Amino acid sequence: MADNDFDFDLFVIGTGPGGEGAAMQARKGGLRVGIAERYRQIGGGCTHWGTIPSKALRYTITSTMNVMKNPVFREMGIHTSPTMEQLRRGTAEIIAKQVTMRQSFYDRNSVPIYFGHARFVDDHTVTIENGETVRSKAFVISTGTRPYRPPEVDFDHPRIFDSDTILDLAEKPTSITIYGAGVIGTEYASMYRNIGVKVNLVNTRGKLLEFLDDEIVDALSYHLRDQGVVIRHNETFDRIEGQDDGVVLHLQSGKQIKSDVFLWANGRTGNTDDLGLDAIGLVPNKRGQLDVDDQFQTAKKHIYAVGDVIGYPSLASAAYTQGRAAGMHVLGRKDGNLRVKDLPTGIYTSPEISSVGQTERELTERRVPYEVGQSQFKSLARAQIMGTTVGMLKILFHRETLKILGVHCFGANASEIVHIGQAVMDSEDLTLEYFVETTFNYPTMAEAYRVAALNGYNRLF
């Protein structure tokens, strides 16, 4: 078909990070690009239900609690107990700023936004629920995910929530049970414990966040328990009973846990069930997610999928990079290296966790001769000044070449600190010696790299 048979060269479904990355990359490359959004505002789940609101709430909670624990304020007799509404107050303003900023990207790049649910009619045509029909040479599906809701759980009960609806919790509960100890579950466990809520964290697996380095997982488990979170591993729910004064979680082991409110945080489902995929022969997996190749192409090579709708790692940062990579592939730049396999994790527990590269477990299994350098935050002057002495930085490096193989950080500002190590790890020329020889500002958290590098260097013989 000729190009003039199409309204667009690329049409994107979903304005979250993945969709935005694809649209902007393709438009900068000169393609005609349009995008659809079923919600009344752009930004996707990242902006409205996930990353931005939850991290904004976390920051407010952390900042407020740090002030309340400060001995200076205690001496002044300042005591307060903020409400959920007060803690959440700044979130709407941040979301509005994000929406306005992202809207400007589409406006100044002349990318039209079609508001309404898009559905495929055939391989090159979608209809928008407002009645418009759009034809495009290529598509990017970036529709994200939503919390998985098992049919036997009554989510209409006023005390039973999922990770979307928990953001609207009106009153601070006395206790909460969180079922599912993945990233979302552990983040909310930290958040609610920090405001004095009793937390039961129920894990269906044998340990927390198994994809992380074992030592980091052990540290997280210790500090959650030290803060008062009750963690129960290897448990599966039998039924969830909503009552007038609380919720009772019945476990298959016979245990029963009662709390004021209940948060279901166990699994997510791809938003693919109403996209008309049967009309084009694409079949999602049982989680509603789409399978893609290394170029983010589905079984239909002109239809790409990026972001949470393709599953792991389900990170906003990764979605944006995947979207850009898909946009580059549409432009014919098949060799564009966006480091889509070099993705740092950022887990906003309290303290937070971030890592990039390989874990000790992976290196041991692959029989790579590595060594470890560690820095405990309690020994850093900046951490002592800020009162954030819980945590550590861990560098894994090759014993012979000194190349950085992995960086793992647990503690305040971990998600920022990790990027220094990421840059050195990705360098062709730099090794552990970079950290040994470089002068870091003092006092800073970044100084942890020098301390950890010397610690590891001294282990060599």
For residue 196, say whether it is annotated as part of any ligand binding site. Answer: no
Q: Where are the alpha helices (DSSP H) in 35-182?
A: 44-48, 51-69, 71-75, 84-108
AA identity, residue 215 = E
For residue 323, say whether it is annotated as part of any ligand binding site. Answer: no
In sequence order, the 6+-apart residues with CB closer than 8 A to the CB of 161 are 155, 169, 261, 262, 263, 264
In sequence order, the 6+-apart residues with CB closer than 8 A to the CB of 187 are 54, 58, 347, 348, 349
Q: Which of 171, 174, 167, 196 is nearest to 68 (CA)?
A: 196
Crossing angle of helices 84-108 and 51-69, rounded to 10°: 140
For residue 183, say whether it is annotated as part of any ligand binding site. Answer: yes
Q: CB neighbours (10 Å) of residue 41?
A: 17
Most distant CA pair in the chain, distance = 76
**In Å, what is the CA distance from 243 to each residue of 137, 155, 261, 328, 413?**
53, 13, 10, 53, 40
Structural contact between residues 177 and 160, judged by C-beta atoms closer than 8 angstroms = no
For residue 184, say whether it is annotated as part of any ligand binding site. Answer: yes
| DSSP-assigned letter for residue 408 | E
For residue 347, say whether it is annotated as part of any ligand binding site. Answer: no
For residue 267, say whether it is annotated as part of any ligand binding site. Answer: yes
For residue 170, say whether it is annotated as part of any ligand binding site. Answer: no
Structural contact between residues 158 and 31, judged by C-beta atoms closer than 8 angstroms = no
For residue 55, say whether it is annotated as part of any ligand binding site. Answer: yes
Structural contact between residues 309 and 6, judged by C-beta atoms closer than 8 angstroms = no
For residue 165, say whether it is annotated as part of any ligand binding site. Answer: no
For residue 186, say whether it is annotated as part of any ligand binding site. Answer: yes
Q: Which of 326, 338, 291, 284 is nearest to 312 (CA)?
A: 291
For residue 171, say whether it is annotated as part of any ligand binding site. Answer: no
Could you list the residues known to form a binding site, using ranges.
55, 180-187, 267, 308
Could you list the residues known to form a binding site for NAD(+), using ranges.
180-187, 267
Could you list the residues known to form a binding site for FAD, using ranges.
55, 308
